[in-house]
Amino acid sequence: MTRAKRGLFGALSVTFLLGFLLSACSQPGSGSSPGGGSSSDGGSSSGGGTSANAGGSSDGGSSGAIGTGGTAVGFIFVGARDDYGYNQVAYIGSQAVEEAFPDLKVLRVENVPETAEAERVMEQMINDGANIIFPTSYGHLDPALNVAARHPDVAFFHQGGLKTAENLGTYFGTIWEPVYLAGVAAGKMTKTNKLGYIVSVPIPQVLLNVNAFTRGAQSVNPDVTTTVVFTGSWCDPGQQANAANSLIDGGVDVLTQHQDCTKTVIETAERRGAMSVGYHADASSLAPEGWIVGSIWNWPALYVDMVQTALDGKFDGSKYDGKFRGTLADDIVLLTDFGPNVPDEVKALVEEKKKALLDGSLHPFAGPVKKQDGEVVFAEGVIPTIDELESMDWFVEGVIGTIPK
């Protein structure tokens, strides 16, 4: 009997371990076919204006230039395509590619974990004729670099990466610009002067957004603080609901987030009477009362242009062969419409700041910028470079939260 018990405990610890693994990474996606009930309105707000260089895709070149000669374009996503978030907007971008290049097959795989599994999926796509691949999640970078080294003729466009290779460029947007503006609105709207930020893991993009949001809020309301909660996952609704409730219990009245799926947090905030600032995709329909504004991506035109560049054999030396960063001025990142309960003077104030951002008279991280502990990072008059911003590993003063070291 004791032996039986020991065996049982052994089996259990194995299961427990398995559970940890499972909660850490999700299932490889099964269905990748388009169609079906693709979601209603979120994020598609400005999908229309794709640059019209559709026409004859040049696959005759076969000069061996990077990214040419393929019959397909591959997209891998870390989550589901209709998550009101990161993956949904990237998916919408892939649809634009599909429309613009009818001769190219668009291969998509959702729920690709950020592991060697991603390499396998990309290899398969290359086998299936893809010479252009979009690994769209931050954690897909290392697998993509490995695959890129094995296939020097395939062009890779990685979303958000900080490393590049001969045939791998990264693209992203300065989303912290609209996030800063959303912070301005939040700083004006909060009554408790406590903002809540639900984030996943401490990578620079995340910290940059938290800091931009806080700087925006502080610029109009010096008493405001941002409380940060890490969930450790890009999409775990149970943990998101825990975090949202916990922050609201703690007195936070404006919630924002850096998660892949954004629905649960916004709906929880709405039910509890707190206000929401959106991220990734326009989810205003989920919060008719509490929606303030959101920061979203506008990928379609960019994706189409990147594919065109590669097909033309011009990847090498183009602006996408490196770290490309689209801006608010380029319409790569956007601010959504305001919610119905945002007063006109707040809207006007945000518009005014937006103008200043666009004409260069305002920079969210113009010095002096202080860390949480008061140390000055950017001195008076200093304007940090994009590389400096994208390697951020600290919180600004006014943020409550701890970054794991």
Partner 1 sequence: MIADILTGAVRSGTSVLFATQGELISERAGVINLGTEGAMLAGAFAGFATTVWTGSPWLGALAGGIGGMLLALLHAYLVISRGANQLATGLTLMFLGMGLTSFFGRKFVSESIVGFNPVPIPLLSDIPFVGPILFNHDPLTYVSFALVPLIGFLLFRTRLGVIIRASGEREDALFASGMNPKLVRYGAVLAGGFLAGLGGAQLSIAYTHSWVENMTAGRGIVAVALVIFAAWKPLRAAIGAWLFGAAQALQLTVQQQGYPISPYFLFMAPYLITLIALLAVEYRKRSRIPEGLGKVFTGSPGGAG
The yes or no reply on residue 236 touching partner 1 (CB under 8 A) is: yes
Helix (H) or strand (E) segment spanning residue 171: strand 168-173
The yes or no reply on residue 212 touching partner 1 (CB under 8 A) is: no
Tell me whether residue 168 or residue 248 sits nearer to partner 1 (CB atom).
248
Q: How many CB atoms lie within 10 A of CB 155?
A: 31
Contact call for residues 171 and 157 (beta carbons, < 8 A): yes
List, in order, residues 6 or more apart from 181 with CB less than 8 Å away: 216, 293, 295, 335, 350, 353, 354, 357
The stretch near partner 1 (CB under 8 A) out of 15-23, 139-147, 291-299, 380-388 is 15-23
Length of the chain: 405
Give the Cα separation of 248 and 242 in Å (integer): 10
The distance of closest approach from Cβ of residue 292 to partner 1 in the complex, given in angstroms and rounded to an integer, is 19
The yes or no reply on residue 191 touching partner 1 (CB under 8 A) is: no
| Chain residues 37-56 in contact with partner 1, contact rule CB under 8 A | 37, 39-40, 42
316, with CB counted inside 10 A (0-12, 13-18, 19+), is: middle
Candidate residues 46, 115, 245, 318; the one interacting with partner 1 per rule CB under 8 A = 245
Inter-CA distances, 373 with 207, 388, 402, Å: 16, 19, 11
The yes or no reply on residue 3 touching partner 1 (CB under 8 A) is: no
Give the Cα separation of 297 and 139 in Å (integer): 19
The stretch near partner 1 (CB under 8 A) out of 36-44, 67-75, 101-109, 333-341 is 36-44
Residue 319 in tokens? 């602006």
Residue 268 in tokens? 């929880």
Tell me whether residue 106 or residue 281 sits nearer to partner 1 (CB atom).
281
The yes or no reply on residue 230 touching partner 1 (CB under 8 A) is: yes
The stretch near partner 1 (CB under 8 A) out of 58-66, 75-83, 99-107, 328-336 is 75-83
The distance of closest approach from Cβ of residue 238 to partner 1 in the complex, given in angstroms and rounded to an integer, is 6
Residue 166 in tokens? 């001969």
Q: Give one DSSP letter per residue of 292-318, joined into a string.
A: EEEEEE--HHHHHHHHHHHHTT--TTS
Candidate residues 104, 106, 208, 286; the one interacting with partner 1 per rule CB under 8 A = 286
The yes or no reply on residue 269 touching partner 1 (CB under 8 A) is: no
Tell me whether residue 23 or residue 391 sits nearer to partner 1 (CB atom).
23
Strands 275-280 and 130-135 turn out to be: unpaired
Candidate residues 235, 254, 307, 328; the one interacting with partner 1 per rule CB under 8 A = 235
Candidate residues 53, 242, 318, 327; the one interacting with partner 1 per rule CB under 8 A = 242
Binders of partner 1: how many residues, by CB under 8 A?
63
Tell me whether residue 12 or residue 116 sits nearer to partner 1 (CB atom).
12
Candidate residues 50, 78, 82, 126; the one interacting with partner 1 per rule CB under 8 A = 82
Residue 140 in tokens? 């897909």
Candidate residues 22, 116, 348, 358; the one interacting with partner 1 per rule CB under 8 A = 22
The yes or no reply on residue 15 touching partner 1 (CB under 8 A) is: yes
Give the Cα separation of 229 and 219 in Å (integer): 22
The yes or no reply on residue 16 touching partner 1 (CB under 8 A) is: yes
Contact call for residues 46 and 298 (beta carbons, < 8 A): yes
Task: Specify the amino acid at residue 5.
Answer: K
The distance of closest approach from Cβ of residue 158 to partner 1 in the complex, given in angstroms and rounded to an integer, is 24
Strand partners, 261: none
Candidate residues 66, 96, 184, 261; the one interacting with partner 1 per rule CB under 8 A = 261
Closest C-alpha among 359, 363, 356, 358 to residue 381: 363
Per CB under 8 A, residues contacting partner 1 are 1, 4-5, 8-9, 11-12, 15-16, 18-20, 22-23, 26-27, 29-31, 36-37, 39-40, 42, 80, 82-84, 88, 111, 202, 227-230, 232-233, 235-243, 245-247, 249-250, 261, 263-264, 267-268, 271, 286, 400-402, 404-405
